[in-house]
Amino acid sequence: MEFKYLIIGGGVAGTTAANAIRQNDQSGSIGIVSDEPHYLYSRIMLSKPNFFLGKIPFEQIWLKDKSWYKNNNIDFRGGKKAVKLDPGSKIIYLDDQTEIKYEKLLLATGLNPRRLPVPGADKQGVFYLRTLDHGKAIIAAVASVKQAVAIGGGFISFEMANLLQLSGAQVSIIIRESRFWEPILDETASQIVEAAIKKSGVNIIPNTEVKQVDGNRHVAGLTLKDGRSISCDMIMCGLGATCDIEWLEESGLKTDRAILADQYLKTNLPDVWSAGDVTAFDDPILQEVVHLGNWVNAQEQGRIAGLNMVGAKQPFTFVSYYTTHGFDISVTFVGNVSPKKEFTTIVRPGPEGRVHTQLLVVNDELVGAVLINQTQILRPISQLIEKNIDIADKHRQLADPNFDLNSLMPNPPT
Amino acid sequence: MPNQKEYPRRKEGSNIAKIVVDRDLCIGAQSCIAPGQGTFAIDGENKAIVVDVDIADDDALMLAAQSCPTKAILLFDQAGQQLN
């Protein structure tokens, strides 16, 4: 088997890349290998309460159907896993012994949830969220859950605790840190988020970790390292995610917990690109290696990688962002919210207890932001980051919530 | 009845005559903001709204609509045919 363009990963990065390739090369053969059997669906919906609670019809999750792959002449091979890359002979080996030769290869395999590393974690009722099948299993379980525990202080925990609580369960969140979303959120931001969570009746248990999961075949509770025990019939793990790159170890591909790519999303191997959550890229804006995991980032990286695979030379300069809504508040991360370089934070305060903005500054330029209930400033903030605007003498304005950020733009809208 | 907001478009040379945002489907993920090049913003209910219906060209609007993870943005031509 042979494709001109072979894409490993059928999520939004891989599929968007296939689309960009097809728009620029009508005849080159394209193959997508996905470890999931499904056509492209909206992974972002898997943790949205409106979807879980049936307010958004299930069918809405499908973003591409069979006819799209057929009309675009894209060969979709679902339920297959790539197990080896031979960059010399340009061959990908699949877990069913198939060998696929490629001219140009894109790796877009995404992230895997980190497993709960304690005894009893294999019991029924312990859930992770990555795939549509995970989502379906959770939808089925949520219907009868009475007491649930979410582990971890991040997006998954935040969104899943919200939907578990909305579906009527009594919910606790266990976090290792002293406050929610530490250290990305500052204390004020954490306080707003925690107040909103607690107001809904969800209990937050900080400064502790799970020692073991209790129960027979099914979860009945868990024991914490501080000795406390909590009874529950469902555990939702949001412990972060890792890239599945072990299968690439022998290939000579440069990795550092993620696949390393340059600003064109090209890896160190000939004719091999990388896109989406599995990719850490040289960010020309920040001038450091950046690894992000979110929907718009994956989508835009897929598009840029696809264009570069058909011969363009476009750097990836998109400022990505992710917004979550839950517990009646919104939390948005823009750009890079955990730069490796030394950074300072400008706080743009809001009405107390409700609105808060953290602006992250490296070398007099904005590189990222955390917005609490501030979605309306996403666009000017993104542009300030993208356009590398020198803000050395603008700290006072940035910290003033009444100052119009649009006026800092080179060509402010009229 | 679907909670849809319609925005008629009058941009010269454009094949897109109407932008529709389905407010029930919109989850405020904001993926339309960047590709929409100023077309969309998020309102106080965390739903996408059109703030400048004629600012972007058709390609940008198609990209913005395709970027939506809940397919909440619908584009129609003069004849009322859905384009995305």
pLDDT at A411: 66
Q: Where are the domains of chain B?
A: 4-76
How high is the pLDDT of residue B1? 62
The per-residue pLDDT for A388 is: 85
Select the residue of B25, B33, B38 nearest A60 (Cβ to Cβ). B25
Q: Give the fold, CATH level 3, of B4-76.
A: Alpha-Beta Plaits (3.30.70)
B67 vs A contacts (CB less than 8 Å): 296, 299
pLDDT at A412 over 70: no
pLDDT (tens digit per residue) in A208-260: 999 999 999 999 999 999 999 999 999 999 999 999 999 999 999 999 999 99
Structure tokens at A371: 């917005």
Do A376 and B30 count as a contact with CB atoms less than 8 A apart? no
Residues from chain B contacting residue A375 (CB–CB below 8 Å): 28, 30, 42, 46
Q: Which residues of chain A does CATH 3.30.390.30 include?
A: 339-408
Query: A381: which chain B residues are within 8 Å (Cβ-Cβ)?
Result: none
- Tens of pLDDT, residue by residue over B1-59, are 678 999 999 999 999 999 999 998 898 888 898 889 999 998 877 789 999 999 999 99
Residue B68 has pLDDT above 50, yes or no: yes
For testing the chain A interface, which of B23, B24, B26, B27 should be mutated: the one with the most A CBs within 10 Å? B27
Give the model confidence (pLDDT) of A192-212 as tens digits.
999 999 999 999 999 999 999
pLDDT value at A414 more than 50: no
Nearest CA in chain A to B23: A56
In A11-40, the residues whose Cβ lies within 8 Å of chain B are 12
Share of chain A above pLDDT 90, in %: 81
CA distance A280 to A250: 19
**Looking at residues A172-189, what average pLDDT do you find?**
96
Tell me the CATH class for A339-408: alpha beta
Q: Summarize pLDDT for A49-63 with one digit per residue, the tens.
A: 878 877 788 888 999
User: What pLDDT, on a 0 to 100 scale, did the predictor assign at position A57?
Assistant: 83
Cα–Cα distance list, A402 to A351, A391, A396, B48 (Å): 11, 17, 11, 23
Superfamily per CATH, domain A113-241:
FAD/NAD(P)-binding domain (3.50.50.60)
- Flag if A295 and B31 touch (Cβ within 8 Å): yes
Q: B4-8 and B18-22: which strand pairing?
A: antiparallel
Per CB-CB distance under 8 Å, the chain A contacts of B41 are 376, 379
Of 3.90.1150.10, 3.40.630.10, 3.50.50.60, 3.40.30.10, which CATH number belongs to A2-46+60-111+243-309?
3.50.50.60
Q: Which residues pair with A280 in a beta bridge?
A: A260, A291
Best mutation target among B31, B32, B37 (most A Cβ atoms within 10 Å) is B31
Question: Nearest CA of chain B to the CA of A331: how many Å?
Answer: 11
- Whether the predicted pLDDT of A347 surpasses 80: yes
In order, the DSSP letters of B10-77 are --TT-S--EEEEETTT-----TTTTTTTTSEEE-TTS-EEES-TTSS-HHHHHHHHHH-TT--EEEE-
- Per-residue model confidence (pLDDT) at position A285: 79
Cβ of B70 and A376 within 8 Å? no
Measured in residues, chain A has a length of 414
Residue B42 and residue A378: Cβ atoms within 8 Å? yes
**Partner B, chain A 270-309, Cβ-Cβ below 8 Å:** 295-296, 299-300
Top residue of A44, A62, A372 to mutate, by most chain B CBs within 10 Å, is A44
Minimal Cα distance from A322: which residue of B?
B29
Say what the pLDDT of residue B46 is.
Answer: 79
Band (pLDDT 50/70/90 cuts) for residue A410 is confident
Query: What are the start and end residues of each CATH 3.50.50.60 domain in chain A?
Result: 2-46+60-111+243-309, 113-241
ipTM: 0.84
Do the chains contact at A323 and B29, CB–CB below 8 Å? yes
* Residue A375 near chain B (CB below 8 Å): yes
Least confident of A19-28, A377-386, B75-84: A377-386
**pLDDT beyond 50 at A39:** yes
List Cβ neighbours of A390 (8 Å cut-off, separation of 6 or more).
A364, A365
For residue A345, which of A185, A154, A179 has the smallest C-alpha distance?
A185
